[in-house]
Structure 1
Amino acid sequence: MAFMLVFACISLLQSCTAGSTVSTVTKNQPSNDAVTPLLDVIQVEAPLRASYGGASCKQTIVQHEFAASYGTPYIGSYSPPKDCKFTTTIFNMSVTSYGINFDRLALLYFGDIELWRMTTAMPVRTGIFYKYEKDLTIFDSLLRSEEKIIMTLDNIYNSVFTGSYNVTITALYFDDQETLTPADNILPISSQSSSKNQSSAFSLPGDNATTSLTLPRNVERAVVSILASGNGAEEFWFRNVINENKGFFNNDILYGYSPFREVQLIIDGSLAGVSWPFPIVFTGGISPGLWVPIVGIDTYDLPSFEIDISPWLGTLCDGNSHSFELKVVGYDSQTTLGTVNSNWVVSASVFIWSDHGGNQTHGSSIESQTPAPAFEVMPNVTSMNTTNSNLFSKLTAYRFLSHSATITTSSGIRKLTWRQDLSYTNIQNYTALGYNKTLSQHTRGISTFSATPRKHFTTISNSYSWPIFFTSNNVVSPDPKATNSTLVASIDRSSQSHTIPIIPYLTQSVSLFIPQVLSTRQNGSCIYFWNNTLYEFAGAIDPADGTLGATEQWYSYKDSQESYGRHVKAIDGYEPVLILDEEFQNTISVPEADLDMVD
C-alpha cells in the first residue's frame, strides 16, 4: 500500500505542467517582504450569493490578531446598523497567517450564544490567506440588539510556533424584501461565562453541561441547535478502539472508549434527541499535506445539529425552570454507553417561536420511544498480542427514537413529532504496534419533524450519509532528531445530504421550501517527511520541509435558489499548486467514495 501511494503522489506531481502557478492573492505582508503572494487556502463551498455588491450596509465587527492568545479571547461589542433596512445577514471572515503553527479551533459568541465554530488552516512561512462567508439570518433577534462579542482562538505563539492569525469579520446586511419569521427568542445552553469575558462553551466530560431555562408560556415551536467537536484525545475519536483493545500492542498508541460517539440532549432527565457527529478532519489531521491548498469538508464552518423539541412544549410552557443537559458518550461493553476522553467542546441554543395570539401553550403527555442503541462488536479481544499481529475490529450501531405530543395554541390543535433513525459501521485494522492503521466508517441518519400550518407539508424528513476511509502508515526513525521519519497517508470520504434544515425552514417565508441537496467527495494521498529537530515535534507543516501530496474534490449542490458545481485538484510539494479549478452553474456528477471494507 505504501509503495502504491508513493507512486501515485509522484505521478500526479510530474503531471503538473511546468508553467503552473500557485493560486494566490496579495495581502499585507511583513515589512521585510512586501510583495510575497499569499497562498489562498480554500474550502470548496457553494457561494451564498451571486453578488455581494448589493449590501444595504456593512460593518467590521472583529479585527484582531490572535498571537499568544491561549485563554485570552477577543472582546468587542456589536451594535445593529442604524438607518439600514435588512432581512439577510452574512458574516464574511478573512484570515491571514505567516510562519509555523498548528490548526486552531475558533468560537464566535454573541454573549452566551455561539454563532459560529471554525478551525483554521495551517500556515506556511510565506503566508496564507483564506476567507469564508456564513449566513447568520437565523440569529436575527440577536443581530438587532446590542451584544458583547467574544471570539476564542487559543493559539501558542513563541520562537517555535511563529504563526499568528489575523482575523477580520465583516457583517454584510442585505434587503431581500422578504417577510421572514425568525425566532422571537434565542436562549443559551452554555456555561454562561460572558460576564467573565470568557467563551461559554462546556468542555466534556469534565464539565457538568447543564443549564436551567424558563421558557415563555406561549411558545409555538422550539428547536435546539447543538455544536460539538472533539479535540485533544478526542480529535480523532473515530479511530479510537474499544477499551478491551486499548492495550493490545502494550504501548500508549491507541486511545480508548471506542470509535463511536453520541451527543445527547437531555431535558429534565429524559433523552430528547441525539447527534452522531460528522467526522471532522482538521487541517493537521491524518497528514497535513492533504490539506494544502484545499482544506477538509466543513473546516471553516463546523456543522451544527438540530433537534425539534416542540413535542415537549406542553411541559416546557408551564412557567417553571427546566433542565437542559448536553452529554457526549461512547460505546462501553459493560454499560452500553459510557464516558469519553477529554475534551469535547459543546454548546447549544434554543430557538423559540412565540404564539402571539395565545397566553399559554398546552399539550398532551409525550409519547416517547427511546430504546438504547443496539451494538454489535467483532471480535472482542481481551488479551495482548505480539508485535507482528493485526488488531482488527468491527463495531456497528443502530438507534431509533421518537417523541410526539398533541399541542394546543391559539391557531388550533396539532400533533408534533420528532423522530430519528441512525446507523453506523466502523472497521479498523492496526499493525506495526499500532503505528499503521486502516479505517473505514459509514454513518447514516434520517430525522423527521412536523411542518407548520403555513407550509405545504405534514412532515419533513432529512437524510445524510457520511462515509470515510483512510490509511496512515508510519515509518519512525530510530533517531528522529537525526533522520527523517515518514508518514504515508490517504483519504477518501464523502458527505451527502438531502435536507430542509428546521431553523431556516421556520425562518423563511417561502410557501414551498425546496430541499438542499449536497454531494461532495474528497480523495487524496500524501507522503510526509518529518523529524524532531523541526520546531519541537510540530512536524513538517511547511511544504518546504518535505511533503508530496495530492488531493481532488468534487462538489455538487442544489437548493431553491441555485445550482452549483465545482471540481478541483491540488498538489502539495515544495510549491503547493491548484492544478485544476472548474466551476459550474449547475450540479455535477460526483463519484462515490470507495469504502473498501465497508458496504
Structure 2
Amino acid sequence: MLVLFIVAAFQLGLYAGCIASPAALISTSRDESGVVKAPLDVFEVQAPLRASYKGTSCEQVVLQHTFAGSYGTPYVGTYSPPDDCDFTTTIFNLSVTSSGINYDRLGLIYFGDVEVWRTTTAMPVRTGIFWNYQKDMTIFDTLLRSEQKVIMSMDNLYDSVFTGAYNVTITALYYNDHQTLSPADLILPISTQSSARDKASVISLPDGNATVSFTLPRNAERAVVSVLASGNGAEEFWFRNVPTEYTGTFNNSALRAYSPFREVQVLIDGVLAGVGWPFPIIFTGGISPGLWVPIVGVHTYDVPSFEVDISPWLGILCDGKPHSFGLAVVGYDSKTTLGTIGSNWWVSGSVFVWKDAGGNQTTGTAIQSSSAEPSFQLTPNIISTSNANTSLELHLSGQRVLSHTSTITTSSGPHILSWSQSLFYYSINNYTANGSNKTISALTTGTSSFSPSSKYSPPIKSTFSYPITFRTSSTTPIDATTANSTIVASLDRSLLSNSIPILSYLTSPSLFAIPQVLATRQTGSSVYYWNDTYYEFAGAIDPAMGTSGSTEQWYSAVSKVGVYGRHVKAIDGYEPVLVVDEEFPTTIAVPETELVGIGK
C-alpha cells in the first residue's frame, strides 16, 4: 500500500512559491509486469486561490488519517487555533493518496456539528494515485479561532477485493494579509448534531429529520443559510430519472422514478425562504469511470454549497423565541407538482449570523413575499411496436420566481433587505433499448440577488448556467465468464457563473465586491470493458480491465486574485496520458456545450 507523507512535500512546495506535486516524494510501486510506476496525479482543474502560497503567518496539520475499513467509523480529532499567529485568511490544503482497487467515496468534514467541506475521491489504481486541492475556509473564521472537534467521515470498504485505502492529510495555511475581515459572529448547524457521539452530523433525506430550532440573538443584523446537498445511492444519477408513471415503460427496472428535476429547499418556520437547483455532480465512478482519469469532474473535490440570504426574516427571528430551520429535497410530480424523491440525499446546513454592534433589538416590517410553486410542462413521446415499447422521450421544463423583502431596523437605522431568485430548467431525456441506452440533455439557469452592506446600493446580482449532454449505452453478455460487459459513453457539459458569494462578501466586502466569473467546459468519450466475475462485482472499477477514450477541459476564471486560464486534454487507457496542459495568465475562450434539441 502507498504510504502518505504529504506534509513534507507540501511544505517544500510552499517555500518554492507554489503547492508541489508530491509524486516525486511518494514511494513508487510496480505493476504486474514488474515495471516501476510513479503514482498518477488525478486532478481537478482549479484557479489558484492566491498569487503565491508563500508568506504564511503559520501553518499546521489539521487531520492526518488513513481510511481503510472505515464504514461507520469516522476520524475524530481536535482542532486548536495556532498560537502566536495573526491571521485573516485561512486556506486548507487537502492531500490524498491511494493504491489498489476501490470505488469513489464521499468525504464529510465537520467542525463539531457544522459541515465545513464535502469532498469525493478519485478511484485508485494498483500503481497509485494522488491529488491536492485547496479550499478557502475564511468564512468559518469564528470556528477557526477556538478549539473544535474535527470529524471526517469517509465510509470505505477494505478487504481482499477492495484493496484501496485513502490516506488523507489536511494542512491549514494562515495568512495575515488584509484588515477588512468581518466574519459571522455565530454559526449554527442544521444537522443531526451527532458530534457528541463522535458521528458526522449529515442528514439523509427523505427519510431523516432535517428541521432544527434555534433562538437567534435579538440584535442580529444579517443572517445567511448555507446548504450542502448531494444525491447518493439511488439518487446519484437523479438527472437521468423519469417521472414515476413512466418507470414501467420497458417492463423492467432500467428507469428510476421521481423525475430528472430536483429542488433543495430552505424553510423557516415551515415557510419557503429560498431554494437551490443543484449542479449535477458526477463522481469518478459516474457515467463511465474511464472519463475521469486523470482529469476528474467539475466540483469533484469540493462539492458546492448554495446560499440563501434570510436577512429579510430578522424582524421575526429576533423576537427572542425559538424558530425552526429546515431543509427538504423534492422532485417533479405530475399530480402534485412537487413530490418525494428516492434515497438518499445527504444534506446539512449552517446559519451564519452577524450581530449589530450597537446591541439594540432588531425589528422589521412584515415580509413582502412571492414564493408560488414552480410551473412545469411535461411532454412525453412513447414509440411502440405490436409487442413492446421501443423508446421513450420526455421533455420537461420548469421555472420558479421567488422573493422576500422587508425593512429591518438596527441601531444604525432602517435598511431594506431583500432576497430574490429566478430559475429555469429544461431537459430532454431519450431512452431506447429497454432503457439501456440513454441520451440526456438538460439546461439549468438562474439569477439571484441580495442586499449589499451599504444601505443605498442596489441589490447584488449573481447568475449561473449549467448545460449538460451525455449519452450512454451498455451491453451485458449472457455468459460473463467468456465475454466482457461494455459501457460506451460521451459527455459534454459546462459551468458558467458570474457571482458574488454572499458569505464571502459579508466576511470581506472589500475583496469580494467584484464578481467572480467562471466558464468551464468538459467533453469526453469512453469505451469501458470489464468482466463481471473478475473481482466478484468489483471488476468495473479496475482500469486494467480495459478502457479507451479521452477527456478535454477548458477553464477560464476571473477572481479576487486575478485572471486564470487552463486547457487540458487526456487520453485514457491502460496508461492515461495528459497530452495537452496549457496554463495562461489571462482568460481563455471556452467553447459552448452542445445541447441536443434545446435552444440557447
The TM-score range, normalised by the shorter chain, is over 0.9
Letter of the 2:559 counterpart: D
User: Would the aligned equivalents of 1:56 and 1:173 in 2 still touch at CA under 8 Å?
Assistant: yes
Listed one character per residue, the Cα deviations across residues 96-142 of structure 1 (whole Å, up to 9, x for unaligned) are 00001110000000000000001000111111000100000000000
- Secondary structure of 1:477's match? coil
Identity of aligned residues (%): 62
CA drift of 1:412 comes to 1.0
The SS at the match of 2:245 is helix
Matched, 1:420 2:414: no
Cα distance in 1 for partners of 2:386, 2:189 equals 48
For structure 1, list consecutive stretches of 5 or more residues without a partner in the other structure: 1-21
Worse-superposed segment, 47-56 or 165-174: 47-56
CA contact (8 A) 2:106 2:118 kept: yes
Kept in 1, the 8 Å contact 2:112–2:151? The answer is yes
Do residues 311 (structure 1) and 317 (structure 2) align? Answer: no
Contact 1:250–1:384 under 8 Å retained in 2:
no
Opposite residue 60 of structure 2, the aligned amino acid is Q
* Cα distance in 2 for residues equivalent to 1:109 and 1:205: 22
Instruction: Look up the SS of the partner of 1:313 in the other structure.
Output: helix
The reply on whether 1:192 has 2:193 as its aligned counterpart is yes
> 1:106 and 1:170 mapped to 2: Cα distance?
16
Q: Separation in 2 of the partners of 1:399 and 1:25?
A: 51
Cα distance in 1 for partners of 2:439, 2:165 equals 34
Q: Is the 8 A contact 2:532 2:540 kept in 1?
A: no
Equivalent position of 2:27 in the other structure: 28
Q: Which shifted more, 22-31 or 406-415? A: 22-31
- Aligned partners of 1:283 and 1:356: how far apart in 2? 47
Q: Which residue of 2 aligns with 1:212?
A: 213
SS in 1 for 2:189: strand
CA deviations 1:563-593 (Å, max 9, x no partner) are 0000000011010111110000110000001
Tell me the equivalent position of 1:475.
475
- Deviations 1:528-574 (Å, cap 9, x if unpaired)? 00121122223332322100020000000002331000000001101
**What residue number does 1:3 align with?**
none
Q: Which has the larger displacement, 382-391 or 337-346?
A: 382-391
8 Å CA contact 2:250, 2:389 repeated in 1: no
Within a 5 Å distance, the mapping from 1:155-174 to structure 2 comes to: 155-174=156-175
Paired residues for 1:428-507 under 5 Å: 428-453=429-454, 457-507=457-507
- Is 329-338 or 374-383 further displaced after alignment? 374-383
Equivalent in the alignment of 1:532: 532
> Are 1:285 and 2:298 counterparts?
no
What amino acid does structure 2 have at the position aligned with 1:196?
R
Shift of 1:23: 11
- Any idea what the Cα deviations from partners look like across 1:345-388, whole Å, max 9, x if unmatched? 00000111110113210001111111110000012769998556
**Aligned residue runs from structure 1 range 19-418, under 5 A:** 25-29=24-28, 36-379=37-380, 386-387=387-388, 389-418=390-419
TM-score normalised per structure 2? 0.94
Residue identity in the other structure for 1:495: L
The Cα of 1:481 is off from its aligned counterpart by: 3.0
For residues 189-229 of structure 1, the C-alpha deviation after alignment (integer angstroms, 9 at most, x for no partner) is 11100001000010000101111111100011000000000
Q: What's the offset of the Cα at 1:181? A: 0.6
8 Å CA contact retained: 1:245, 1:382: no
| 2:132 partner amino acid | K
* Equivalent AA in structure 2 for residue 28 of structure 1: S
In structure 1, the partner of 2:3 is none
Structure 2 partner of 1:12: none
Counterpart-to-counterpart distance in 2, 1:36 and 1:499? 42
Provide the secondary structure at the position in 2 that maps to 1:578. Answer: strand
Cα pair distance change 1:512/1:567, threshold 3 Å: closer
Amino acid at match of 1:77: T
Tell me how far apart the structure 2 counterparts of residues 314 and 267 of structure 1 sit (CA, whole Å).
13
Superposition deviation, residue 309 in structure 1? 0.1
In 2, the alpha carbon distance for the partners of 1:356 and 1:40 equals 48
Q: Secondary structure at the match of 1:123?
A: coil
**Secondary structure of residue in 2 paired with 1:334:** coil
Return the letter of the residue paired with 1:540: A
Post-superposition offset of 1:470: 0.1
Counterpart for residue 5 of structure 1: none
Whether the 8 Å CA contact 2:30–2:127 is kept in 1: the answer is no
- Whether contact under 8 Å (2:380, 2:392) holds in the other structure is no
Counterparts of 1:495-574 in structure 2, within 5 Å, are: 495-510=495-510, 513-574=513-574
Closer/same/farther in 2, CA of residues 120 and 248 from structure 1, 3 Å limit: same
C-alpha distance in 2, partners of 1:560/1:294? 25
Instruction: Give 3-state SS (helix, strand or coil) of 1:471's partner.
Output: strand
Identify which range, 541-550 or 137-146, moves more after superposition: 541-550
Distance 1:258 1:25, change over 3 A: farther
* C-alpha distance after superposition, 1:518-537 (max 9, x if no partner): 00000000000012112222
Alignment of 1:573-592 (within 5 A): 573-592=573-592
Distance in structure 2 (CA, Å) of the matches to 1:28 and 1:55: 28
Tell me which moved more, 503-512 or 519-528: 503-512
Contact map agreement 1:543 1:576 (CA 8 A) in 2:
no
Q: Is contact 2:51-2:561 (8 Å) kept?
A: no
1:144–1:383 CA distance, 2 compared to 1 (3 A): farther
CA distance in 2, matches of 1:23, 1:578: 17
Distance 1:375 1:416 in 2: 30
**Contact kept in structure 2, 1:66 and 1:153, CA below 8 Å:** yes
Cα RMSD after superposing both structures: 1.9
C-alpha distance in 2, partners of 1:400/1:384?
Answer: 42
- Given that residues 28 and 127 in structure 2 are in contact (C-alpha distance below 8 angstroms), is that contact kept between their aligned partners in structure 1? no
8 A contact 2:190–2:348 mirrored in 1: yes
Conserved? CA contact 1:387–1:433, under 8 Å: no
- Separation in 1 of the partners of 2:265 and 2:307? 11
1:16 aligned residue = none
Structure 1 distance, partners of 2:282, 2:597, is 20
Q: Distance in 1 between matches of 2:511 and 2:42?
A: 38
Letter in 2 for 1:507: T
CA 1:381–1:332: 2 relative to 1, 3 Å: farther
Whole-Å Cα distance in 2 between the matches of residues 260 and 538 of structure 1?
Answer: 30
Distance in 1 separating the partners of 2:24 and 2:256: 41
Quote the Cα distance in structure 2 between the aligned partners of 1:405 and 1:301.
34
Q: In the aligned structure 2, how far is the partner of 1:386 from the partner of 1:560?
A: 61
Q: Which has the higher relative contact order, 1 or 2, with Cα contacts under 8 A spaced 6 or more apart? A: 1
Alpha-carbon offset, residue 179 of structure 1: 2.2
For 2:214 and 2:260, how far apart are their aligned partners in 1?
33
Letter in 2 for 1:518: L
CA distance in 2, matches of 1:487, 1:386: 27
Distance 1:308 1:226 in 2: 11
**Distance (Å, rounded) in 2 between the aligned partners of 1:435 and 1:542:** 22
Deviation string 1:403-422 (CA, Å, 9 cap, x unpaired) is 00010001110111100000
Report the TM-score when normalising by structure 1. Answer: 0.94
Cα distance in 2 for residues equivalent to 1:90 and 1:364: 39
Partner Cα distance (1:387, 1:303) in 2: 42
* Distance (whole Å) between structure 2 residues aligned to residue 562 and residue 53 of structure 1: 17
C-alpha separation in 1, matches of 2:138 and 2:541: 37
SS in structure 1 opposite 2:539?
coil
1:49 offset after TM fit, Å?
Answer: 1.4
Cα distance in 1 for residues equivalent to 2:30 and 2:248: 52
The alpha carbon displacement at 1:335 in A equals 1.0
CA distance in 2, matches of 1:506, 1:321: 25
- TM-superposed CA distance for 1:458, in Å, is 1.8
* 2:7 alignment partner in structure 1: none
